[in-house]
Chain A
Amino acid sequence: MLKKIEAIIREDKVNDVKSALEAIGIVGLNIFEIRGHGRQGGIRLSGRSGTYQVDMLTKIQVNIILSEANLEETIQTILDAAYTGEAGDGLIFVYAVEEAIRIRTRERGHEAVMYPGDIDERKKRRFINDGIPT
């Protein structure tokens, strides 16, 4: 079963999240610059004379398609890396994905979202070397 993670995080946390994901072997991801607001509301910016309220803040949306087996580990990684404890840390949404097809090879499903050196390959190698089932 394929899943999609849609994580909305702080703009300034994007590098932390990206490198944390890389460390556990999440290779394929997309990021979008989005604007919005949740509980944080907005911020006040300096204008020509005094300040003014801005309610739409720039956030980063990270999209990842992955196997259900890797879901919890990935969510934990994002939670740790994107956390500051202040309002505005963001949200994570998880969806079911019907199908994934890699255009170059026409692989479908799980195969389509596997990459050399990714989380699945690492787990497989660990299984072969140490006999630990994943």
Chain B
Amino acid sequence: MEVAINAGDTAWILVCCSLVLLMTPALAFFYGGMVRRKNILSTLTLSFIFMALIGVQWVLYGYSLAFGEDIGGLIGGLNYLGFEGVGAAPSPDYGPTIPHGLFAAYQMMFAVITPALITGAFVERVRFKSFLLFSILWATLVYDPLCHWVWGKGGWLNTMGLLDFAGGTVVHIAAGFSALAFALVIGPRKGYGRFTMEPHNIPLTVLGAGLLWVGWFGFNAGSALAANGVAVNALLTTNSSAAMAGLVWMVLSWLDGRPSTLGISTGMVVGLAAVTPAAGFVKPLAALVIGAVAAPLSYYAIRFRDKRGLDESLDVWACHGMASTWGMVATGLFATVQVNRAGANGLFFGNPAQIGVQLLGIVVTIVFSFGITFLVAKLLDLSIGLRVTPMEEEVGLDISAHGERAYS
């Protein structure tokens, strides 16, 4: 089959690749503003480092495990090791009108930000060395296989017809429930629950949320892998859900006191996470419903988590895990082939079976990511220790782990 590279598609995905890359520093600032001032550099680094760490891992073997030739529906083969054969010619399986190398680079940015999302669970207390080891293990044992199951040609969930447009399962549910598992293992920050841990710089968080929204256009609309109508639909649904969730969160926060800036920013990110699996399959009006439901779901999930005394510090589970779980269900409700011929119809368009597939995808992702993360974190905790010493935690990780201070 002779396939031609399309300049428009290629240009668009090149831009999207850069937009998704921007999301990792955006996330770093989104998280950085919410920690105490003694841990801002540490928190920034926990996210930032993935551009380097996965930037190497993905080229060496990550891409091959995720998108290499299928082995039993479970994992990619080693045929793309070191990006061998990943070049200017399009891949027959992925993005047939763009260079294969561009698809691989675009996917790299997803692999970079996903483990960065998890870091919200253990900021202000994780030991950097253990964190690095955990991250590389997580990328290899959780992300790469899961990515293959859902998006790889021959991946078993993909073959079953699971609809996950831009990473509801692979990115957000996986990160959210891994965050929950890690938080359970590492335990709360010193003094958690006894005194307030105020966010030290909310403007940074607002800046991060804004940049995340911008980057998310690349994340969701780029997942069409072409400059076409599906991409435009994904951009519209992404914007709609974020807008609605931001508004609803504002109202919830207002009813509890005053409309919080941090709350509104959080609501926007929740709306973005929720619509991610649905973006290229549902209409904008459905995206408004997705955002409207995601906001109270995450809002009260934070409350629930807090009441249980669980220090999943920056609410990755509540904001990403829960929102995207809803988003995956909503995809099974609202998906329609009128939007995307390559997709499927959901319950409201006469295909109740899709709900079953979506639920299976959710459960598999939760059990797999939570289970492996809990196991890996526990093993690391028992062997080399996950936490810094109480003294190092008290001083703050900026000084104790990195030997620097953010504000001199």
Contacts and interface: CB of A to CB of B under 8 A. Distances in A.
Interface of A: 44-55
B263 A46 contact: yes
A56 to B, nearest CB: 9
Nearest to A54: B196
Contacts of A55: 196
A50 B257 contact: yes
B260 interface: yes
Chain A to chain B: the 6 pairs with minimum beta-carbon distance, closest first: A46-B260, A49-B302, A51-B257, A50-B256, A49-B299, A48-B266
A46 B198 contact: no
Contacts of A47: 260, 262-263
A33 to B, nearest CB: 14
B201 to A, nearest CB: 14
Nearest to B304: A49
Contact of A48 (B196, B258, B315): B315
21 contacts: A44-B257, A45-B198, A46-B256, A46-B259, A46-B261, A46-B263, A47-B263, A48-B260, A48-B263, A48-B266, A48-B302, A49-B252, A49-B253, A49-B256, A49-B302, A49-B303, A49-B306, A51-B257, A52-B196, A53-B196, A54-B198
Given A46-B260, A49-B300, A50-B253, 16 more contacts: A46-B253, A46-B257, A46-B259, A46-B263, A47-B260, A47-B262, A47-B263, A48-B260, A48-B302, A48-B315, A49-B253, A49-B299, A49-B303, A50-B257, A51-B257, A53-B196
Contacts of A49: 252-253, 256, 263, 299-300, 302-303, 306
A75 B253 CA distance: 43
A48 B198 contact: no
Contacts of B253: 46, 49-50
A45 B260 CA distance: 9
Interface in B267-305: 299-300, 302-303
Contacts of B266: 48
Contacts of A50: 253, 256-257, 303
A48 B253 CA distance: 8
Given A53-B196, A54-B196, A48 B262 contact: yes
Nearest to B302: A49
B298 to A, nearest CB: 8
A43 B260 CA distance: 15
A53 B257 CA distance: 12
Nearest to B300: A49
Interface of B: 196, 198, 252-253, 256-263, 266, 299-300, 302-303, 306, 315
Nearest to B195: A55
Nearest to A53: B196
A54 B196 CA distance: 7
A68 to B, nearest CB: 41
Contacts of A46: 253, 256-263
B292 to A, nearest CB: 17
Nearest to B198: A54
A50 B260 CA distance: 9
A51 B306 CA distance: 12
A99 B260 CA distance: 50
A53 B193 CA distance: 12
A51 B3 CA distance: 57
B308 to A, nearest CB: 13
A45 B256 CA distance: 11
A55 B195 CA distance: 10
B111 to A, nearest CB: 28
Nearest to B255: A50
Kindly name the residue among A47, A49, A53 whose own CB sees the greatest number of chain B CB atoms within 10 A.
A49
B315 A51 contact: no
A51 B262 CA distance: 11
B293 to A, nearest CB: 16
Contacts of A54: 196, 198
A30 to B, nearest CB: 22
B252 to A, nearest CB: 8
A52 B198 CA distance: 9
Contacts of A45: 198
B196 A51 contact: no
Kindly name the residue among A46, A48, A50, A52 whose own CB sees the greatest number of chain B CB atoms within 10 A.
A48
A49 B300 CA distance: 7
Contacts of B302: 48-49
Contacts of B262: 46-48
Nearest to B298: A49
B167 to A, nearest CB: 23
A41 to B, nearest CB: 13
A55 to B, nearest CB: 8
A52 B256 CA distance: 11
A108 B26 CA distance: 56
Nearest to B299: A49
A44 B196 CA distance: 11
A51 to B, nearest CB: 5
A77 B259 CA distance: 38
